Amino acid sequence: MRPETHHLLLVALFSCVLVPATAVCVPRNSSNSIYHATTSPPAFVVNYGSSSRPSPTPASYQPSSSPPPSPLSPAKYVPSSSPPPPTPVSYQPPTSSPPPPTPVSYQPPTSSPPPPVRYQRISSQQPTPAGSLGSTSPSGYSSPSTQLPIRDAVSALCSKTDYPDVCSSTIQSFPALVGPVDAAVMLKLHMKACREKAQIAQSQVSALVSHPGASSKLASSLQVCSDMYDDVFDSLDTAADAMASHDKGTLDSMLSGLISDFSTCEDAFTEDSITSPMAAVDDRLTKLASNCLAFSSLL
């Protein structure tokens, strides 16, 4: 062997030993990888010569048995079945429309409030002549309360008497009174009330006298009262005539005589020492006569 050849072999040997091995990256086996390396490591062959040493075989890789993935086929659009078109809603009017609201109308109450209390004036037996006593009121007598309301006028006139309570209750027994109210009207009403009360007293006297158990003394006293009540009727008639003729002197005399008649009735029971069954009636009549005199003084 020639020396040049020996030196070439040594250089080739050392070059093969000193050449570093090349790493081959083998991807993992996955569904996304296309190729994978074989499990056997690459073989390196050192060729020391043309006859004795083989030349190194380059590393090779073997494709895996899994077929390459096919390219994605384009997605095919499959139109879904379109929903049916909406059914148009048709408006159907109600079969029966509600009745229109009834307008509320105000109905005034059927019952009217009761009329105010009215009083009726007592007409005299004769027409009242124009004021021989200087009167300016419709009745021919002056009065300070002719223009006041009836109730206020009655209260004002009753306050001028000695027994205003008796006066008020007497006027209330005449609900038909109409105005104007003055002293003459009040006097006539009291004279009328006095007559009616005296008639009731006369009826009581007659009943007591005819009673079987009445004693002689009681019957005698009752007879005195009966005579006095008869005189009361006469005195009231005379007083009405005097009032119509504006004879104030006779009027006052007759009214004062009423008080004397009632007092005489009670004195009869006192003299016989008998309790008077007519005491309450005579007391009421006396107060009425006193109020008559008070109204007469206002004429």
Contacts of 54 (CB under 8 A, 6+ apart): 45, 46, 47
Classify the C-alpha dihedral 168-173-179-184 as positive or negative.
Answer: negative
- pLDDT for position 5: 65
Hey, what domains does the chain have and what are their CATH numbers?
119-297 (1.20.140.40)
- pLDDT for position 223: 95
**Alpha-carbon separation of residue 243 from 22, 160, 237 (angstroms):** 166, 20, 10
> For tokens 């006139």, what's the residue?
157
Cα 33 to Cα 29: distance, rounded to the nearest angstrom = 7
pLDDT tens track for 89-122: 444 544 555 555 555 444 544 445 444 445 444 4
Cα 154 to Cα 182: distance, rounded to the nearest angstrom = 8
pLDDT tens track for 180-224: 889 999 999 999 999 999 999 999 999 999 998 889 999 999 999
DSSP SS3 for 177: strand
Cα 204 to Cα 196: distance, rounded to the nearest angstrom = 13
DSSP SS3 for 198: helix
Q: Residue 119 pairs with which residues in a beta bridge?
A: 177
Cα 240 to Cα 191: distance, rounded to the nearest angstrom = 8
DSSP SS3 for 54: coil
User: 124 or 175, which is more confident?
Assistant: 175
Which of 78-82, 125-129, 256-260 is modeled with the greatest confidence? Answer: 256-260
Cα 36 to Cα 169: distance, rounded to the nearest angstrom = 138
DSSP SS3 for 176: strand
DSSP SS3 for 93: coil
1 pLDDT tier (thresholds 50, 70, 90)? low
The token pair at 256 is 């004062």
End-to-end CA distance of the chain: 195
Cα 68 to Cα 35: distance, rounded to the nearest angstrom = 8
The pTM assigned to this predicted structure is: 0.52
- pLDDT for position 15: 65
